[in-house]
Chain A
Amino acid sequence: MILLRAWLAGLPAYLWSGWGAIASLCLLLAAWEAVSLVYGPLVMPDPRAAFATLWGLIDSGAAWPELAATARRALSGYALSVIAGSVLGLIAGLSMTASMMSRPLVTVLMGTPPIAWLVLAMLWFGASDGTPVFTVFVASFPVIFIGALQGTRTLDNQLHGMAEAFRLPRRMMIIDVYLPHVVSYLFPAWIAALGTAWKVVVMAELLATQDGVGAALAVSRSHLDTAATMAWIAAVVGLLLAVEYLGLEPIKREVERWREQGA
């Protein structure tokens, strides 16, 4: 509740600070415009054409089912990896042996390109939802696992000792001592994993499914429709940026605030 109130109080200032990002994005749009002027609309349609196409897709209702399918797959894979990654990471972090043992495994997982997982998933799950969901899960799991592991490994032993000395009740110990610390590691990992999930799902759909944004991209590619391609890219990136910067980033700042004050 306090978290929510602090979040709301800081919201106007936070939103206003978005102007700096908008200024940079306008520069990007100017560069996009310049590329489209030099190479012509077939190679790169200008931003207004892309946004007009996007608006047409949204207006006609064609965009929503695709976006919904993509979001469904991304979020299911992401939810699985959040649960599995957080729980397993926390448990692994509790034991020195387990964390020592799991690190190389996670390194292997992170080092394997998502496209390799995708090929395996296509062999295992075929053209069903299982393919993108599994790929998303495998791609974002190690990110969260590492975050949870770090969070538990770096718990301050002195704080633990002090809490013991004061005979802190177990509930308070978890909520006030362990949780803030672990969450401050977990939360950034969740955000990073969400970005990964959102990108990987589009790639998986491009190759493996008949609907979703990735499939729509495959269609626009086969029609040489660069305007539609840019429109879908803008939609995917825009959605991710909106979720990340309007929803998660302010919460992340709130969660991490105690660390800055301590430093």
Chain B
Amino acid sequence: MSMGDKTMNAGSGAVTETGAGRTQPGWSKRLAVQPLFMCGFRPFFLLTALYAVLVLLAWAGFLGVDLAVPAVAGGPFVWHAHELMFGFGLAAVAGFVLTAVPEFTATPPFAPRVAVRFVLLWLAARVAFWMSGGLAAVAGGWLGVADGLPAAEWIGHLPAALLNIGFACALLVAVAPRLWRDPERRQLGFLWGLAAMAAAVAGFHLDVLRGEYPMRWVLAGLGVMMTLVVVAMSRISMRVMNDALDAERARRLPAHTLRHDEEAELELPSYRARPPRRNLAIAAIAGYTVAEFLLPGSPITAWLGLGAAAAVFNLLNDWHVGRALFTRWAFLLYAVYWLLALGYLLLGLSHLGAPLAPSAGTHLLAIGAMGLSILAVLCIAGRTHAGYPLDERPWVGVAAASIAIAAVLRAASGLPDVPVPALQLLAALAWILAFALAAWRLGVLFVVARVDGGAGCEEYHEPGAAEASLR
């Protein structure tokens, strides 16, 4: 597989050919020179936002007016869960790692045609899964329905299984060598996370092929996603929090004393995402995920869920640094951890017998922690790597608040004696609003060439930054 090769991307026109005798179709080459494929995150972050809207529109139709969703093995809930976890979620992960791994490991960026191939594979996986029910029906017609039903389902699901597992594995194969060869191997957390994610995808589809109900693998995938969120957020948060603290220091000191760095340093602590606390949180989440998989609904799982909640709350010790926390980007990331902790708290309580459905906690994690962290990554990594400064316009606040509201509404629908359909429909609409805004406000940047003259993934640099650091 040549997806992992380190072809230097020299900009718009220069797509290096691998192997002399190989002919590439012209359309794929033409696709690769589009600005959309300049860097791996661009197509995937756009698809992430668009797909979030599309899946939830279909789901809102199903909940509200009984519109059919694509028939897949396991039923509509499996479709909903799989597409949001392994479609939407994995697209965001793909965009993130295709951009961040070269940066973190100081290796050359992935060439545009790598992005093209991944996007095509992802789209094919989506189409195959959506059509798997239809394909099974066609196969059933050929085989004669009487005794051929399991076989027909098997045939119908096979393309979806191959393409989805293929996508997750290809992603792992593409970034694994770089993560592994990194001298200090500081980014191995991503490698284990991606490997576990690929295992969850494979487990899901193998369960379907064996005729079993595959939902437990979606929950496992959600747990893996939560650990990836903690790992990825620690990388982003260092930057965001210390920027916020710097701004706070500058605000406290009159301009003419700005030179006395030491005094300012003494006043405010600097923020460090400390590994011990992070590792405890990751281990606690992993422990809960394994327990939930092996012993669903057991009180052991419940205590581990409460432990995971406490471990995530423990992570917030690093974050309590005063007013700087209440700036836009710092608070956005901070809210992700709260939703993460509260999600595990609700899961633990529901397994202990509290009168609420486990799906309340699951959705606080999936909508709240996953959705909000993906929005944060889209906004922060997406904009800076597209050559723009962080977005200070109000839509970010509206989108983030919508996701938080969606998470709370969906979680509330798991309480006893509430109007469940209305709450779920409202939650779906809030989610659609958030990601429609993101698709519009960020998508317009991703489909056009960079305005700062950049031709790849390089980050935005403040025009005055160089002089400021010299001062």
Interface residues of A (CB under 8 A from B): 12-13, 16-17, 19-20, 22-27, 29-30, 33-34, 37, 46-48
Q: Which of B287, B303, B310, B313 has most chain A Cβ within 10 Å?
A: B303
- A26 and B280 CA atoms in complex are apart in Å by 13
Selected contact of B310 from candidates A26, A30, A46, CB within 8 Å: A26
Residue of B nearest to A27 (CB): B307
A23 touches B311 (CB 8 A): yes
User: What are 18 residue pairs bridging A and B, where the CB atoms are less than 8 Å apart in the complex?
Assistant: A16-B316, A17-B314, A17-B317, A19-B311, A20-B317, A23-B280, A23-B308, A25-B307, A26-B304, A26-B306, A29-B303, A29-B306, A30-B300, A30-B307, A33-B299, A33-B300, A33-B303, A47-B299
A26 touches B316 (CB 8 A): no
Residues of B near A27 (CB, < 8 A) are 284, 287, 303-304, 307
Residues of B near A46 (CB, < 8 A) are 299
A16 touches B317 (CB 8 A): yes
- A24 and B280 CA atoms in complex are apart in Å by 9
B310 touches A48 (CB 8 A): no
Decide if B124 is an interface residue (CB 8 Å cutoff).
no
Residues of B near A13 (CB, < 8 A) are 317, 320
B317 touches A37 (CB 8 A): no
A23 touches B303 (CB 8 A): no
Knowing A13-B320, A16-B317, A16-B320, say if A23 contacts B284 (CB, 8 Å).
yes
Decide if B277 is an interface residue (CB 8 Å cutoff).
yes
Knowing A37-B300, A47-B303, A48-B299, say if A22 contacts B320 (CB, 8 Å).
no
Beyond A17-B317, A37-B298, A47-B299, 17 additional contacts (C-beta under 8 Å) are: A13-B320, A16-B317, A19-B311, A19-B314, A19-B316, A19-B317, A20-B280, A20-B310, A20-B311, A22-B314, A23-B311, A29-B303, A29-B307, A30-B291, A30-B300, A33-B298, A33-B300
State the Cβ distance, B317 to closest chain A Cβ, in Å. Answer: 5
- A46 and B308 CA atoms in complex are apart in Å by 20
B314 touches A26 (CB 8 A): no
Interface residues of B (CB under 8 A from A): 277, 280, 284, 287, 291, 298-300, 303-304, 306-308, 310-311, 313-314, 316-317, 320, 352
State the Cβ distance, A115 to closest chain B Cβ, in Å. Answer: 34
A19 touches B300 (CB 8 A): no
Residues of B near A16 (CB, < 8 A) are 313, 316-317, 320
Residues of A near B352 (CB, < 8 A) are 48
B277 touches A20 (CB 8 A): yes
For the A-B complex, the count of residue pairs with Cβ-Cβ distances under 8 Å equals 65
- A13 and B319 CA atoms in complex are apart in Å by 11
Selected contact of B314 from candidates A23, A34, A47, CB within 8 Å: A23
Residues of A near B311 (CB, < 8 A) are 19-20, 23
Residues of A near B300 (CB, < 8 A) are 30, 33-34, 37
Residue of B nearest to A12 (CB): B320
Residue of B nearest to A13 (CB): B320
A30 touches B304 (CB 8 A): yes
State the Cβ distance, B268 to closest chain A Cβ, in Å. Answer: 14
- A20 and B278 CA atoms in complex are apart in Å by 11
A23 touches B317 (CB 8 A): no
- A46 and B300 CA atoms in complex are apart in Å by 10
Residues of A near B303 (CB, < 8 A) are 26-27, 29-30, 33, 47
Knowing A26-B304, A33-B303, say if A19 contacts B320 (CB, 8 Å).
no
Residues of B near A23 (CB, < 8 A) are 280, 284, 307-308, 310-311, 314
State the Cβ distance, A26 to closest chain B Cβ, in Å. Answer: 3
State the Cβ distance, B134 to closest chain A Cβ, in Å. Answer: 44
Residues of A near B287 (CB, < 8 A) are 27
State the Cβ distance, A27 to closest chain B Cβ, in Å. Answer: 5
Residues of B near A20 (CB, < 8 A) are 277, 280, 310-311, 314, 317
- A116 and B64 CA atoms in complex are apart in Å by 75
Residues of B near A47 (CB, < 8 A) are 299, 303
Residue of B nearest to A36 (CB): B299
- A16 and B314 CA atoms in complex are apart in Å by 7
State the Cβ distance, B307 to closest chain A Cβ, in Å. Answer: 3
State the Cβ distance, A176 to closest chain B Cβ, in Å. Answer: 25
Residues of B near A19 (CB, < 8 A) are 310-311, 313-314, 316-317
- A17 and B319 CA atoms in complex are apart in Å by 12
- A29 and B307 CA atoms in complex are apart in Å by 9
A26 touches B277 (CB 8 A): no
- A19 and B291 CA atoms in complex are apart in Å by 21
Residues of B near A37 (CB, < 8 A) are 298-300
Q: Which of A20, A24, A27, A30 has most chain B Cβ within 10 Å?
A: A30
State the Cβ distance, A29 to closest chain B Cβ, in Å. Answer: 4
Residues of A near B299 (CB, < 8 A) are 33, 37, 46-48
Residue of B nearest to A32 (CB): B303
- A116 and B222 CA atoms in complex are apart in Å by 57
- A29 and B308 CA atoms in complex are apart in Å by 13
A22 touches B310 (CB 8 A): yes
Q: Which of A13, A17, A27 has most chain B Cβ within 10 Å?
A: A27
State the Cβ distance, B327 to closest chain A Cβ, in Å. Answer: 20
Residues of A near B280 (CB, < 8 A) are 20, 23
Residues of A near B304 (CB, < 8 A) are 26-27, 30
Residue of A nearest to B287 (CB): A27
Residues of B near A34 (CB, < 8 A) are 300
- A48 and B280 CA atoms in complex are apart in Å by 25
Residues of B near A24 (CB, < 8 A) are 307
- A27 and B304 CA atoms in complex are apart in Å by 6
- A37 and B306 CA atoms in complex are apart in Å by 19
State the Cβ distance, B1 to closest chain A Cβ, in Å. Answer: 41
- A33 and B304 CA atoms in complex are apart in Å by 11
- A48 and B299 CA atoms in complex are apart in Å by 9
- A134 and B313 CA atoms in complex are apart in Å by 44
- A30 and B308 CA atoms in complex are apart in Å by 12
For the complex of A and B, the 8 pairs showing the least CB-CB separation, nearest first, are A26-B307, A19-B314, A30-B303, A23-B310, A23-B311, A22-B310, A19-B313, A20-B314
- A37 and B303 CA atoms in complex are apart in Å by 14
- A34 and B300 CA atoms in complex are apart in Å by 6
- A221 and B316 CA atoms in complex are apart in Å by 43
Residues of B near A12 (CB, < 8 A) are 320
State the Cβ distance, B410 to closest chain A Cβ, in Å. Answer: 25
State the Cβ distance, B321 to closest chain A Cβ, in Å. Answer: 10
Residues of A near B314 (CB, < 8 A) are 17, 19-20, 22-23
State the Cβ distance, A97 to closest chain B Cβ, in Å. Answer: 47
State the Cβ distance, A245 to closest chain B Cβ, in Å. Answer: 15
- A57 and B291 CA atoms in complex are apart in Å by 32
- A47 and B303 CA atoms in complex are apart in Å by 10
- A34 and B295 CA atoms in complex are apart in Å by 11
Residue of B nearest to A30 (CB): B303
